[in-house]
């Protein structure tokens, strides 16, 4: 063997062994932290091994496009031994998987690069089969080449078909459009693979992080390993402020990522050259380039929100086609999309509307949800509203402490929830503050994305008979998590989010795995496709406990109002249309896809067969409801002197005007007060 090559092999083997050793040390630390902190620690046995193995390969090769059957079969000898390896502190099995995986990625890239040099035949007798369940790995390299050729052809034909609804126009200009689409598809596929392969250091960091994620998620869906960047990105979703460059992005109809708005006073604002409508092409951090065309949304979000990426270089394209770079350094700013806000909405009744995107808090205690909501309530009361709507649609949760404070604004002193820990201790979480911030009628809106702290709050409002809950069954998460560092030091870069407790309603019941049932169900587009806690394999079970406490329910007689609302919903042409469209969408989405002939005509028809459904969906989403929306008197004064707030405020009003759920909530408040 050549001496230089021999040295490189030895060096790489040493590097892999070192990485595997670090992985073993991290698993040991995870187990130690889980043993002390996890609500229901599972045994480390063959069941763990099999589940972690499957979850890991799901992360590495979800679509089963990279490994061959022979490769996976060879690696599968580790499937029931991972627990033994961990006990022996031997993680060298990961080295074999890593090398096989990287070789598979490089092979896939080489096949795509070779195919790129060939002529693509767009009208063939080839057929592409769509197999979603129990899909097998590809038999051998020859079959893999054939599959890649067909899937690339399919992707190019889709890209062509999506450019116009006019088939004749596309056919007449086919060759020119096909060449552009071919370049785009190949660049995207190469970009994705190169971002997975990276340099050795980045590849192995990502590979071992994926294994730690698969390992930790075995214990329950919300226990999760975080590296530093992932931890910072997660925290940005539940805090009122974070480091930011001050750009909000949105997708256009062609899935390009565009600048939606520039926040005044932000680094992007001060840069002065970035405008709304500019297309983001690339983000660069140090020497790493992340092309938007192939980077995952999670990665883009992580780059933008994580403190780990302080200085970023953005590449934009102007509407004129000019491309420019902007190097921006983040600074601490308020996370506008997380902050609560309010409006006055009127339709016979004058009602306060408070939108709560998340139950946020910060370490200093100055930017907390409860403080912000209290201020919004005071503003609304000064304008003498008849009732208040609390909108928790799409609110994934956050701080349970803030949820307790929120409940305390509407009830006078008492228990809010029960918390059960691993030692079988049951603690009562209470609102200790006498009095309320608001004593008038309230309606709470929830949907399938309302989870955790949102469910906690809605549960208590329902159990105290304090307000009426409308919307859809919630997500079904009744557990609490803590983020714990591996080491208590400034240098620590590893964390684990651990489920430590389950919480129960003050009745002793739990919504874990089932969700909260609203008093009035409102049909919602795609409601049957919303993710649920119950869909996870490792989900905690639903159960009940016998509470040893007493609480005083409000004597409100909501039943006649609830029945009136249910009748309105049943008779509503809008909600009937939603249910009808949901039926069509369910039939369309769940329909078994037949083998597809790889010709332009066939693919065009496949792409556009959903046009009518898309048109129906857009039409119903854009429907306006005839209620008046205005700012509180205090906000109306503020808006006069803030152009950014004025623009942002107008967008929020525009979206709110399309909200049938708020329209129904206003009517319920009217019924409660008249």
Per-residue pLDDT at 297: 73
Domains belonging to the chain, first-starting first, are 11-216 (no CATH), 241-334 (2.30.42.10), 338-415+431-475+516-532+547-673 (3.90.226.10)
pLDDT attached to residue 207? 95
Q: Which backbone phi and psi does 290 adopt, to 5 degrees?
A: -125, 100
Cα atoms found within 13 Å of the Cα of residue 130, Cβ hemisphere only:
11
Walk across the sheet containing 341-347 and list its strands: 520-521, 468-471, 442-446, 387-391, 349-355, 341-347, 628-630
The β-bridge partners of 248 are 261
Q: What per-residue confidence (pLDDT) applies to 319?
A: 85
* Bridge partners, residue 317, by sequence: 279, 323
397: CB partners within 8 A, 6+ apart:
238, 358, 359, 451, 452, 453, 454, 455, 456, 477
Mean pLDDT in consecutive groups of 10 residues from the start of the chain, 674 residues: 40 53 92 96 95 96 94 97 95 96 97 95 85 81 94 94 92 94 93 88 92 97 92 77 83 82 86 91 88 78 82 91 92 79 96 96 75 96 97 94 95 93 93 89 97 96 97 96 92 94 95 96 94 93 90 94 98 97 91 86 90 90 95 90 84 95 98 95
Conformational region of residue 544, where left means phi above 0, alpha means psi within -120 to 50, and beta covers everything else: beta
Name the token pair of 304: 């933008």
Distance CA 481, CA 473 (A): 22
Chain centroid to Cα 58, Å, comes to: 18
**Sequence-distant contacts of 142-150: CB under 8 A, at least 24 apart:** 144/65, 144/68, 144/107, 144/108, 144/111, 145/111, 145/115, 147/65, 148/108, 148/111, 148/112, 148/115, 149/115, 150/126, 150/598
How many angstroms separate the first and last alpha carbons of the chain?
91
- CA dist 603 to 63, 116, 514, 586, Å? 21, 21, 40, 21
Give dist(CA 307, CA 368) in Å, integer: 20
pTM: predicted TM-score of the whole model, two decimal places: 0.90
| Residues written for the chain | 674
């Amino acid at each position: 063997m050549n001496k230089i090559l021999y040295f490189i092999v030895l060096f790489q083997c040493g590097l892999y062994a070192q990485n595997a050793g670090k992985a073993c040390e991290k698993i040991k630390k995870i187990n130690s932290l889980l043993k002390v902190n996890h609500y229901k620690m599972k045994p480390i046995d063959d069941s763990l091994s099999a589940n972690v193995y499957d979850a890991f390969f799901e992360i590495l090769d979800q679509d089963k496009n990279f490994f061959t059957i022979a490769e996976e079969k060879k690696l599968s000898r580790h499937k029931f031994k991972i627990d033994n390896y961990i006990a022996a502190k031997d993680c060298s099995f990961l080295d074999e998987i890593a090398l096989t995986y990287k070789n598979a990625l490089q092979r896939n890239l080489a096949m795509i690069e070779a195919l790129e040099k060939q002529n693509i035949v767009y009208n063939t007798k080839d057929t592409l089969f769509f197999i979603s369940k129990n899909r097998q790995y590809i038999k051998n390299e020859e079959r893999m080449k054939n599959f890649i050729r067909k899937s690339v052809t399919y992707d190019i034909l889709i890209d062509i078909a999506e450019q116009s609804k006019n088939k004749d126009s596309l056919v007449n200009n086919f060759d020119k459009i096909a060449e552009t689409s071919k370049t785009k598809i190949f660049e995207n596929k190469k970009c994705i693979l190169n971002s997975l392969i990276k340099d050795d250091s980045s590849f192995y960091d990502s590979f071992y992080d994926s294994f730690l994620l698969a390992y930790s998620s075995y214990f329950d869906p919300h226990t999760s390993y975080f590296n530093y960047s992932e931890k910072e990105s997660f925290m940005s979703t539940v805090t009122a402020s974070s480091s930011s460059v001050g750009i909000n992005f949105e997708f256009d109809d062609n899935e390009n990522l565009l600048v939606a708005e520039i926040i005044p006073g932000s680094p992007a604002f001060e840069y002065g050259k970035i405008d709304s409508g500019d297309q983001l092409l690339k983000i660069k951090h140090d020497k790493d380039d992340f092309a938007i065309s192939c980077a995952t949304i999670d990665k883009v979000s992580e780059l933008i929100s994580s403190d780990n990426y302080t200085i970023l270089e953005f590449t934009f394209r102007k509407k004129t086609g000019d491309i420019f770079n902007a190097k921006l350094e983040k600074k601490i700013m308020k996370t506008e999309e997380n902050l609560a806000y309010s409006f006055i909405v009127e339709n016979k009744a004058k009602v306060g509307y408070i939108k709560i995107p998340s139950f946020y808090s910060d370490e200093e205690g100055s930017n907390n949800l409860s403080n912000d909501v209290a201020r919004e309530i005071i503003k609304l009361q000064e304008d003498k509203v008849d009732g208040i709507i609390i909108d928790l649609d799409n609110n994934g949760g956050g701080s349970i402490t803030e949820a307790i404070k929120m409940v305390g604004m509407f009830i006078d002193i008492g228990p809010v929830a029960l918390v059960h820990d691993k030692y079988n201790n049951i603690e009562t979480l209470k609102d200790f503050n006498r009095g309320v911030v608001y004593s008038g009628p309230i309606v709470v809106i929830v949907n399938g994305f309302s989870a955790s702290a949102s469910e906690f709050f809605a549960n208590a409002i329902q159990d105290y008979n304090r307000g009426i809950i409308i919307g859809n069954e919630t997500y079904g998460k009744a557990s609490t998590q803590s983020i714990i560092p591996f080491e208590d030091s400034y240098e620590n870069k590893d964390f684990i989010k651990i489920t430590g407790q389950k919480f129960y309603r003050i009745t002793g019941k739990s919504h874990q795995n089932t969700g909260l049932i609203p008093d009035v169900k409102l049909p919602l587009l795609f409601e049957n496709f919303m993710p649920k806690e119950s869909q996870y394999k490792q989900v905690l079970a639903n159960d009940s406990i016998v509470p040893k406490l007493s609480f005083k329910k409000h004597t409100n007689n909501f039943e006649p109002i609830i029945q009136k609302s249910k009748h309105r919903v049943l008779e509503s042409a809008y909600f009937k249309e939603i249910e009808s469209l949901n039926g069509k969408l369910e039939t369309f989405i769940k329909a078994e896809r037949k083998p597809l002939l790889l010709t332009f005509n066939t693919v065009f028809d496949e792409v556009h067969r959903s046009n009518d459904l898309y048109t129906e969906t857009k039409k119903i989403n854009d429907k306006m409801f005839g209620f008046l929306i205005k700012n509180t008197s205090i906000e109306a004064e503020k808006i006069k002197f803030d152009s950014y707030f004025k623009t942002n405020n107008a967008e929020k009003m525009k979206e709110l005007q399309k909200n049938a759920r708020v329209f129904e909530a206003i009517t319920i408040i009217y019924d409660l007060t008249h």
